[in-house]
C-alpha cells in the first residue's frame, strides 16, 4: 500500500465577514483550483487529488463553515446557499485579490451542489467545474440520502447527533468509510488514524453536531425545492446555466448518489463530459486520485482550446 502524503498546511482567512480555514498547496502554477468537500467531510478529503494536480494548479481546499477547522458561521446559515457564499468569497479572494483569474472549481457530494450554485452565480470567475458524485436533487433518493433526510428531521436529527458521540470514534469512521468507499480496506492505516483523531477533536466542539445536522437539512431543502417548487434558483435549473466546461465523475459503486443523477447531469450541463469509474464509490477523488487528475487535465486542455 502506497504511503500517503501529508495533509496540506492550512490557515484561517477572514472572507466576506466570516472566518474559514483553507488548506493550500505551494504557489507556483499560474492557475488556481478551489476544492469543496461533502457532508461530514473536510478540506483533507482533497489532499491526494491536490497533490496529483500540484504541478497544474495552485490548490486551495476550504473547510466549509462549521466543518474541519472552520468555526461556525456568524449567521448560523448552513444552507447550500450559505455554504455557496463562503466558497464564493474564497473564489473572489483567489481570482481577484490574488490575481489568479477564473478558477477551476471542484466539488464532491454536498460540495458539488454548492459548486454548481457558485458556478451559476459567477460564471466570470469559474473556468472549469469538476463534480465528483454531486448531491443534486433526486426524486427517489438512495438509502444514504434517506438517512440524511431522517437525520435532518427537527428534533430527531439533534438527538441522533448527540447520541452518536457515545459510539467510539473509530467505529463511526469505519462505518462512514464503508458507506463512502467501494473498498474501505484500501484506506491506508495512517489515513484512518488521522480521521479518528479528527473526529475525536470535533466531538469536543460545541457546534459540530449542529453544523452536521443543519448542513444535512440544507441538502434536503434543495431536494424539496427542486421537486415541489422548482424555480430559477433550483440546482438543476442552475446546472443548465453553467457556462464553464464541466466534468462529472461518478462511481458505479456509489451507495449515496444514484447513477440516474449522473445521467441527468450529462443531459443538463451545457458543456459536459461524464466519466464513470466502475471500481469507485462516492469519493472517487480519494479512492482514485490519479485517475480523476488525468480527467481533470483533459478538462483543462478542453477549456484552453475553447478560448
Q: So where are the chain's domains?
A: 10-306
Computed over every residue of the chain, the mean pLDDT equals: 91
pLDDT (0 to 100) of residue 162: 54
Burial level of 143, CB count in 10 A (0-12/13-18/19+)? exposed
pLDDT (0 to 100) of residue 157: 47
Contact 7, 49 (CB under 8 A): no
**Measured between alpha carbons, how far is residue 3 from residues 67, 141, 299 in Å?**
26, 36, 28
Burial level of 6, CB count in 10 A (0-12/13-18/19+)? exposed
Residues ≥6 apart with Cβ < 8 Å to 90 = 13, 15, 20, 22, 34, 60, 62
Quote the CA–CA distance of 11 and 34 in Å, as a whole number.
15
What is Dmax (Cα atoms) for the chain? 54
* 36 band by pLDDT with thresholds 50, 70 and 90: very high
In the predicted structure, residue 215 carries a pLDDT above the cut 60: yes
pLDDT (0 to 100) of residue 1: 77
Residues ≥6 apart with Cβ < 8 Å to 261 = 134, 136, 138, 250
- What is the spatial order of strands in the sheet that 103-108 belongs to? 10-15, 18-24, 58-63, 32-36, 103-108, 126-132, 246-251, 272-277
pLDDT (average), residues 73-80: 97
Contact 82, 203 (CB under 8 A): no
pTM for the whole thing?
0.94
Contact 169, 200 (CB under 8 A): yes
Q: Which long-range contacts (CB under 8 A, 24 or more apart) does 120-123 make?
A: 120/238, 120/239, 120/241, 120/242, 121/84, 121/88, 121/238, 122/88, 122/91, 122/92, 123/241, 123/242, 123/243, 123/244
Quote the CA–CA distance of 106 and 228 in Å, as a whole number.
28
In the predicted structure, residue 230 carries a pLDDT above the cut 70: no
**Measured between alpha carbons, how far is residue 263 from residues 59, 162, 225, 284, 287 in Å?**
28, 37, 20, 17, 21
pLDDT (average), residues 254-276: 95
pLDDT (0 to 100) of residue 191: 97
pLDDT (0 to 100) of residue 138: 86
**176-204 pLDDT per residue, tens:** 999 999 999 999 999 999 999 999 999 99
Quote the CA–CA distance of 199 and 101 in Å, as a whole number.
35
Contact 50, 61 (CB under 8 A): yes
pLDDT (0 to 100) of residue 154: 52
Quote the CA–CA distance of 98 and 144 in Å, as a whole number.
39
* 153 band by pLDDT with thresholds 50, 70 and 90: low
**81-110 pLDDT per residue, tens:** 999 999 999 999 999 989 989 999 999 999
Q: Among 137-146, 167-176, 224-233, whose mean pLDDT is lowest? A: 137-146
Q: Among 75-79, 213-217, 231-235, whose mean pLDDT is lowest? A: 231-235
pLDDT (0 to 100) of residue 39: 95
In the predicted structure, residue 151 carries a pLDDT above the cut 80: no
In the predicted structure, residue 80 carries a pLDDT above the cut 50: yes
Superfamily assignment of 10-306 in CATH? Answer: Alpha/Beta hydrolase fold, catalytic domain (3.40.50.1820)
In the predicted structure, residue 229 carries a pLDDT above the cut 90: no
Kindly report the number of other CB atoms within 10 A of residue 12's CB atom: 13
pLDDT (0 to 100) of residue 205: 96
Strand partners, 106: 35, 130
Amino acid at each position: 500500500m502506497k504511503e500517503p502524503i501529508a495533509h496540506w498546511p492550512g490557515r484561517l482567512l477572514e472572507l466576506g465577514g466570516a472566518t474559514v480555514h483553507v488548506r493550500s498547496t505551494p504557489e507556483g502554477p499560474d492557475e488556481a483550483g478551489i476544492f469543496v468537500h461533502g457532508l461530514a467531510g473536510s478540506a483533507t478529503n482533497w489532499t491526494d487529488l491536490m497533490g496529483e494536480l500540484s504541478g497544474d494548479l495552485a490548490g486551495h481546499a476550504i473547510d466549509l463553515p462549521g466543518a474541519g477547522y472552520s468555526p461556525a458561521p456568524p449567521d448560523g446559515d448552513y444552507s447550500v446557499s450559505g455554504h455557496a457564499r463562503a466558497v464564493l468569497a474564497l473564489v473572489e479572494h483567489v481570482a481577484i485579490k490574488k490575481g489568479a483569474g477564473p478558477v477551476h472549481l471542484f466539488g464532491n457530494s454536498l460540495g458539488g451542489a454548492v459548486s454548481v450554485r457558485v458556478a451559476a452565480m459567477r460564471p466570470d470567475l469559474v473556468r472549469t467545474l469538476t463534480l465528483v458524485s454531486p448531491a443534486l436533487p433526486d426524486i427517489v433518493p438512495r438509502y444514504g440520502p434517506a438517512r440524511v433526510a431522517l437525520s435532518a428531521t427537527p428534533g430527531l436529527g439533534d438527538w441522533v447527533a448527540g447520541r452518536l458521540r457515545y459510539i467510539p470514534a473509530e467505529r463511526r469512521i469505519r462505518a462512514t468509510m464503508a458507506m463512502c468507499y467501494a473498498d474501505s480496506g484500501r484506506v491506508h492505516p495512517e489515513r484512518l488514524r488521522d480521521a479518528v483523531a479528527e473526529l475525536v477533536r470535533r466531538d469536543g466542539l460545541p457546534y459540530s453536531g449542529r453544523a452536521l445536522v443543519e448542513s444535512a437539512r440544507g441538502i434536503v431543502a434543495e431536494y424539496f425545492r427542486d421537486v415541489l417548487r422548482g424555480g430559477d434558483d433550483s440546482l438543476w435549473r442552475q446546472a443548465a446555466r453553467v457556462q464553464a466546461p464541466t466534468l462529472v465523475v461518478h462511481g458505479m459503486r456509489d451507495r449515496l448518489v444514484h447513477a440516474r443523477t449522473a445521467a441527468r447531469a450529462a443531459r443538463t450541463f451545457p458543456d459536459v463530459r461524464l466519466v464513470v469509474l466502475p471500481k469507485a464509490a462516492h469519493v472517487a477523488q480519494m479512492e482514485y486520485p490519479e485517475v480523476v487528475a488525468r480527467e481533470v487535465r483533459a478538462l483543462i486542455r478542453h477549456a484552453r482550446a475553447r478560448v
